[in-house]
Amino acid sequence: MNNKSEKIGGISVVLSAVLFGCMPLVTKIAYRHGSNAETAAFFRFLFGSLLLFVIVRFVCRESVLLEKRQLLSILKYSIPYALVPILLYRSYDLIDSGLATTLHFTYPVTVVLILALFCHRRMDVKQLICTALCVTGIVLLYRPNGQINTLGLALAAVSGVIFAVYIVMLGNSPAKTASPFVLSFWLSVFSSVEIGLLALCGGRLTLHLDATGWGAQFLLALMTGVCALVLFQKGVVLCGEVKASLLSTFEPLTGLAVGLTFFHEAFTVKQAVGVVFILAAVLLLVLDPRALFRRKNPHDPT
């Protein structure tokens, strides 16, 4: 894959991470107006699938039909994708959200381990250094100050592992050659059905939302169920699983910015160091020192 495609993929992942980083703000509005974790996740994918269908059929003028093997592949990785928000949102009820987010965003390490152990993929030194920088930055970014609950810790940690599995499955899926809008449509359809069944069985699906709550649910679907989802899947296909998982750490950076702007949260020196670590990892990941050297060398004909 050429360098231009990787850059486009990297930009797509960063944009998706920024949109996902705004998700807690919109989700909290929905919660205050009658929603809960399962309901928010269900309507995020249900409304998202409807919006994606309209985009595919009437804007892109494409068919939503895929080959059987492609549909089966999407169905397989929709299961871990659908489980992630439920596990993570549930962990927020048991432990401090900062600790939960910290545990969840260790998934770049899990991606590297899965690729190395099960896909026999060798990581280069730069990727390993970036992984270490990202994880260190995430740990510094969040300072847990809430209660410690074993189940909450387990749910948050497992959400990260499952999200890593989803990323690896997406990167190796035969469906990745399809249009990202069609891909996202089917992922949203399968995820909404899976989450809906879990919510109904657990008695957690509610329709008692006011107008503001429904508006927040629709905005959540548009931001994350359509735009962010399409951008992330396109990014994974273009720049690879490892780079995508590392660049997605822009999500907690956006969450930090949202907290500072809307909730007037404190910004500590420790968090500032964490931001520097993450940005350093991203810059190291996307910049090619050899290309920079070639541009500076006037005797190089390339």
Q: What is the pLDDT of residue 296?
A: 43
Q: What is the pLDDT of residue 294?
A: 45
Please state, in angstroms and rounded to a whole number, the distance separating the CA atoms of residues 263 and 210: 23
Q: Residue 243 domain-assigned?
A: yes
Helices (H), 142-226: 150-171, 180-201, 211-220
pTM over 0.75: yes
Q: What is the pLDDT of residue 235?
A: 93
What pLDDT band is residue 217 in, cutting at 50, 70 and 90?
Answer: very high
* Stretch 122-136: mean pLDDT: 86
Q: Residue 302 domain-assigned?
A: no
Of 12-16, 58-62, 130-134, 296-300, the one with minimum mean pLDDT is 296-300
The SS3 call for residue 301 is coil
Task: Please give the tally of structural domains in the chain.
Answer: 1
Q: What is the pLDDT of residues 75-103, one digit of tens each?
A: 999 999 999 988 887 887 787 666 777 78
Q: Residue 180 domain-assigned?
A: yes
Residue at 133: amino acid letter: L
The answer, yes or no, to whether residue 21 has pLDDT greater than 90, is no
Q: What is the pLDDT of residue 101?
A: 74
Q: What is the pLDDT of residue 225?
A: 92
Q: What is the pLDDT of residue 292?
A: 38
The answer, yes or no, to whether residue 132 has pLDDT greater than 50, is yes
Q: Residue 301 domain-assigned?
A: no
- Average pLDDT across the chain, whole number: 86
DSSP 112: H
Q: What is the pLDDT of residues 142-183, one digit of tens each?
A: 766 655 788 988 998 899 999 999 999 999 999 988 999 999
Please state, for a pLDDT cut of 70, what percent of the chain lies above it. 90
| In contact, 211 and 246? CB cutoff 8 Å | no
What pLDDT band is residue 16 in, cutting at 50, 70 and 90?
Answer: very high
Q: Residue 133 domain-assigned?
A: yes
The answer, yes or no, to whether residue 293 has pLDDT greater than 50, is no
Q: Residue 84 domain-assigned?
A: yes
Q: Residue 117 domain-assigned?
A: yes
Phi, psi of 94 (to 5 degrees): -110, -30
Rg of the chain over CA atoms, in angstroms?
19
Q: Residue 41 domain-assigned?
A: yes
Q: What is the pLDDT of residue 282?
A: 82
* Stretch 249-276: mean pLDDT: 83
> 232 vs 75, 98, 183, 266, 285, CA distance in Å?
18, 23, 11, 30, 17
Cα 276 to its chain centre, rounded Å, is: 21
Nearest to 198 by CA among 101, 84, 92: 84
> 12 vs 136, 227, 229, CA distance in Å?
24, 10, 10
The SS3 call for residue 287 is coil
Q: What is the pLDDT of residue 288?
A: 56
Helix and strand numbers (H, E) in the chain are: 15, 0
| In contact, 243 and 285? CB cutoff 8 Å | yes
Domain of residue 116, residue span: 3-296
Please state, in angstroms and rounded to a whole number, the distance separating the CA atoms of residues 82 and 45: 9
* Stretch 11-24: mean pLDDT: 90
Phi, psi of 263 (to 5 degrees): -110, 0
What pLDDT band is residue 232 in, cutting at 50, 70 and 90?
Answer: very high
What pLDDT band is residue 212 in, cutting at 50, 70 and 90?
Answer: very high
